[in-house]
């Protein structure tokens, strides 16, 4: 009985993930940011979900003057004080 409940919960969560991925795919192909999302996917290791997440978090990449400034914003540039 408990196993069936766990299995049902996993199936419901998988259905939710599938619905969310379908929404993300719609953003990837239909949104104003679609060209940027698709360009990011050209980078090795960057898939659809990652590209959409980056665009959602950063919004406009043009606000950064250089790649170094973007990396610093993202916390990927180590610094010493």
Would you state the pLDDT for residue 22? 93
* Mean pLDDT score, 15-33: 90
Q: How far is CA 73 from CA 13, 15, 51, 67, 70, in A?
A: 33, 35, 17, 10, 5
Model's pTM, two decimal places? 0.70
Q: Give the span between the Cα atoms of 37 and 55, in whole angstroms.
A: 7
Query: Cα(first)–Cα(last) distance of the chain, in Å?
Result: 58
Mean model confidence pLDDT for the chain? 89
């Amino acid at each position: 009985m408990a196993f069936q409940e766990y299995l049902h919960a996993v199936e419901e969560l998988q259905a939710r993930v599938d619905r969310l991925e379908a929404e993300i795919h719609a953003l990837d192909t239909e949104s104003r940011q679609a060209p940027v999302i698709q360009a990011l996917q050209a980078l090795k290791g960057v898939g659809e979900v990652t590209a959409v997440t980056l665009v959602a978090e950063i919004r406009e990449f043009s606000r950064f003057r250089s790649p170094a400034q973007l990396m610093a914003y993202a916390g990927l540039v180590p610094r010493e004080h």
